[in-house]
């Protein structure tokens, strides 16, 4: 991995943080202050590229800037970059809406009802939110029927995944249970089928415009979003795309639903981070000034360092290990190829790489070897126990037979 120019990267990080300050105001429907307006007009193109790649909010920001100060305040190259990012995000939004219509038709044919989760439900409401996949929550028995129906209609798991088996996510028991590997058509956005309780589906209101799809009640949706962003993916704290998503859920909540969510936040171990994210979402939804705490800005700056390649080690670890997520359900040939690529000594030019990533890549192999050794040790221990107990067992048998005689 080529070492980036440190001066250019540091300048891009400072510029991206300044753009973020202006973006928070524009996303809330407010004109940026003098410092924010100056940052929009003077930030280098590297800062804009880093900001848009890291924050994933091109469509929402373009809409906010057009409604406040206009895109003419941006340098031409930055405006062109923002419009290009907006166009790509809106293409994914249209693709997600097409997936919802197709999955709705499959669910109707299979006699299944599903809850649309998180961002997919929000884009159905018209929120300009970038999407990587479509998440659905389905009762376990119905989920298998829906997956079979999708596979029969051209959906397929990722390349190399040979069986559609549940994958348990971190914190799964507290949120939505196991999910299947993503299913997608050629060129389409992936669809993930999560587990759900029948009672949750019965309590979910219909999603407008669809016959078999529902959405979570406001308080439950906001609670899941907060848990997903802060607890399951803590590195996403302060992510503008997620703040826009949270603000869309806040806008659906009335006073009682919001009070219910705040009570839940206060009971959580990570209450401070959850409350900070909720406060930012509420301020964005209400159009007020959005406070960006120092702790959040530090996390965001660290994220910019990784995205820009300033921290080569963490960037390499992330890129290499994320591909191992589906190793347990990959075909043996594909799994061997992925592990072999990850284990290459020259994969990353960093002295700590092998100490961190190579053990992770070797885990499936080491776990299988450990299981075989454990089985053999158990059999050996069982044989030794029988041999050691042999004399005592024979004496007991002799006493029993002598007593009967």
pLDDT at 246: 97
Distance CA 337, CA 123 (A): 37
Q: What are phi and psi of 68, to 5 degrees?
A: -115, -80
Distance separating alpha carbons of residues 186 and 136, to the nearest angstrom: 19
For residue 272, give the 3-state DSSP assignment.
helix
Angle value at C-alpha 112, between 210 and 105, nearest 5 degrees: 45
Pairing mode, strands 213-215 and 190-195: unpaired
Q: What is the pLDDT of residue 2?
A: 46
Q: Give the whole-angstrom CA distance, residue 354 versus residue 277.
A: 36
Nearest Cα to 290, choosing from 321, 322, 247? 247
pLDDT of residue 97: 95
Q: H/E element holding 242? A: helix 240-252
pLDDT of residue 363: 57
Spell out the CATH class of 90-216: alpha beta
Residue spans per domain, the chain: 6-84, 90-216, 328-404
Q: Per-residue DSSP letters for 282-308?
A: HHHHHT-PPP--HHHHHHHHHHHHHHH
Kindly list the averaged pLDDT for each block of 10 residues, start to end, along the chain of length 405: 57 93 96 94 94 95 96 95 96 94 96 94 94 90 89 83 49 44 87 86 92 95 94 87 96 96 95 95 94 90 80 55 52 59 50 51 62 79 76 71 63
> Which position has the token pair 């044919």?
109
């Amino acid at each position: 991995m080529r070492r980036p120019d440190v001066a250019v990267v540091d300048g891009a990080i400072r510029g991206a943080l300044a753009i973020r300050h202006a973006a928070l105001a524009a996303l809330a429907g407010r004109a940026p202050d003098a410092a924010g307006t100056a940052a929009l007009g003077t930030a280098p193109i590297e800062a804009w590229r880093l900001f848009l790649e890291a924050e994933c909010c091109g469509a929402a920001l373009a809409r906010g800037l057009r409604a406040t100060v206009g895109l003419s305040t941006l340098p031409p190259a930055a405006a062109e970059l923002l419009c290009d990012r907006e166009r790509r995000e809106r293409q994914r939004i249209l693709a997600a809406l097409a997936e919802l219509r197709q999955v709705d038709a499959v669910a109707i044919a299979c006699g299944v009802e599903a809850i649309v989760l998180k961002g997919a439900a929000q884009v159905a409401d018209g929120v300009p939110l970038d999407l990587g996949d479509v998440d659905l929550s389905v009762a376990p028995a119905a989920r298998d029927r829906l997956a079979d129906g999708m596979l029969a209609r051209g959906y397929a798991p990722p390349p190399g995944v040979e069986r559609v088996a549940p994958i348990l996510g971190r914190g799964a028991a507290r949120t939505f249970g196991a999910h299947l590997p993503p299913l997608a058509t050629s060129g389409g956005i992936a669809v993930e089928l999560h587990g759900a309780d029948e009672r949750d589906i019965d309590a979910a209101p219909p999603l407008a415009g669809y016959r078999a799809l529902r959405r979570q009640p406001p308080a439950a949706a906001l609670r899941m979003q907060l848990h997903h962003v802060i607890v399951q993916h803590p590195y996403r704290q302060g992510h503008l795309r997620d703040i826009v998503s949270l603000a869309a859920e806040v806008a659906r909540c009335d006073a009682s639903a919001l009070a219910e969510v705040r009570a839940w936040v206060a009971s959580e171990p990570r209450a401070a981070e959850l409350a900070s994210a909720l406060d930012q979402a509420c301020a964005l939804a209400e159009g007020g000034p959005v406070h960006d705490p120092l702790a959040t800005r530090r996390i965001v700056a660290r994220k910019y360092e990784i995205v820009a390649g300033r921290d080569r080690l963490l960037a390499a670890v992330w890129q290499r290990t994320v591909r191992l997520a589906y190793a347990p359900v990959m075909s043996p040939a594909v799994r061997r190829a992925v592990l072999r690529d990850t284990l290459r000594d020259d994969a990353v030019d960093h002295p700590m790489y092998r100490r961190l990533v190579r053990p992770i890549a070797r885990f499936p192999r080491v776990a299988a070897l450990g299981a075989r050794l454990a089985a053999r040790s158990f059999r050996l221990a069982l044989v030794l126990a029988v041999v050691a107990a042999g004399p005592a067992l024979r004496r007991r048998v002799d006493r029993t037979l002598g007593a009967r005689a």
